[in-house]
Every structure is written in structure tokens, then in C-alpha cells.
Amino acid sequence: MNHAQEIVEQGFTVIPDVIPVDECDRISESLLATVAEHGYDAPDQIGFVPSVINFDQSFVSYLASDELLGLAESLLGDDVRVSFTSATINFPGNERNLWHSDWPFNQRNSSRIKAPYSDRLMHLTTLWMLSAFTKENGGTLLVPGSHRRSSNPTVNGRVIEPFDDEIQATGEQGSVLVMDSRMWHATAANETPAPRVSLAVRYAPWWLNLGVLKPGQQQDTIQVAEGTSHNYVPGITPEAFERLPDNIKPLYAHWV
């Protein structure tokens, strides 16, 4: 099967060699420094910076790589947009975390597609392996095929227990894990002495309403139901946008 078929059939694929290894080391060092300076409140031993592109553009030339963007366009149509750009680092000692699907299917988000939802791919999550993903350092936990189900564990609150059919996504440094955002997945424990560095970039079709993610905009009209919260994504500053290469700007123009 090709990468698009793997996503349709099993919910995920791994594209190797998207970023050269020496570039991964450079980007990792940059993101580690950015997380140290701008780190956001996250679970213990997780480094997280949303809209990291405001502070760090060491990776931007790869956002529109032919294979990655071509795959997104083949599944979502032309004129795809980036919805999230987050630094995510599993530091040594981080623990296994909750099962979930990503926005807009996470039922703990106030702006969501309510379960049961239809069987349609409408958002892609990519995790860039700036460190190799291994079982020991916390390669992301997945439940293959779960993207075709009409709900996910966030309906039931906080589910952390293992599933019999779970696997860990592994890959060499420079690979990119691409999955249907409906995929059930979870953070795995890093049992090594080194941080597992990754970048989470999500791609949306042109028609998906991303305005509900912007602080102070449409989500203010959305009721925050009990047990849910707004999923805020900081906007891109005009200064950061102007620093982007011309072929990357169309992916982010809606966030300025």
C-alpha cells in the first residue's frame, strides 16, 4: 500500500527521510532552547510550545515538502492549511498519558464534532521525529483502525489503561508519522536518559472552520459544556509571518 492507502486503511503511516539527520539535530537543539524559554503548562516532563513558529522557524522549509504536502492534498484536497504547529518534547521520566483523538474530534474540547461522528477524514495530525521514535523513549501509542470508529475514549473522561490492540509508532530520525486525527493515540513513557524531540503539525482542508481555535474570536460564542474547555491556538504575529518563505505563507495566512 502507498501512504495514502495506509492512512485510509489503518489510520496512519510513517514517511521516512523527510528531514536529513544532520538537520534534525540542528532543529532539535533549536526547539529545546525554545521550549526552555517559552514552555507552556503541560503534563509533568512534557515540553510544549503552541504556535512555536512565532519563536522558532528552524523547521519551516520542510512544512511543504513534496511528499508530505502532496499526501495531505491527496487526502484533504487543494489549498490545505496548517491548523496547529506545536513543539512537543517527552523529557526523561514522563509518564504514559490519556487516550484521545485530536481536535476537532476530542470530546473534551468545547469546539468539537460531537460523537457519534461520521466516517470522514477531515484533519491530519503529523508528528515529526526529530529524535528517533522507539519503544523505550516514548514512541506514540496508537490503536490501528480506531479512526473508523464513531467515537473515542475522551467521551468517557480520563482513559489511560492499555488496549489489547495498541501498538507504538516507531521510526528513524527524520521520519514523519502522519495519521487521521480521529486516530486513538496517547503519549508513551520515555524510559531513556535523553529527551524525545518532536514537532506536531496538523493540516486542515480549506473549508474546516479554524476560527473557533483563535483566542478572543468565535469560540467566545460557543458554550463551554461541563467537562470541556476551549482549545486555544495563539495567532501568528505579523513579524513571524513576514519571516516565512513565500511558499509557506499560504499555509499560515489565516492565522495572522
Tens-level pLDDT at each residue, the chain (256 residues)? 899 999 999 999 999 999 999 999 999 999 999 999 998 877 789 999 999 999 999 999 999 999 999 999 999 999 999 999 999 999 999 999 999 999 999 999 888 999 999 999 999 999 999 999 999 999 999 999 999 999 999 998 788 999 999 999 999 999 999 999 999 999 999 999 999 999 999 999 999 999 888 877 655 566 666 667 777 899 999 999 999 999 999 999 999 8
Contact 14/179 with Cβ under 8 angstroms? no
Query: For residue 223, what pLDDT is reported?
Result: 62
Query: For residue 140, what pLDDT is reported?
Result: 98
Ramachandran assignment for 51, one of left (phi > 0), alpha (psi -120 to 50 degrees), beta (any other): left
Query: For residue 156, what pLDDT is reported?
Result: 84
Query: For residue 220, what pLDDT is reported?
Result: 58
Side-chain half-sphere exposure of 52, counting CA atoms within 13 A: 31
Query: For residue 157, what pLDDT is reported?
Result: 78
Query: For residue 232, what pLDDT is reported?
Result: 81
Here the cell at position 118 is 461520521
Query: For residue 70, what pLDDT is reported?
Result: 95
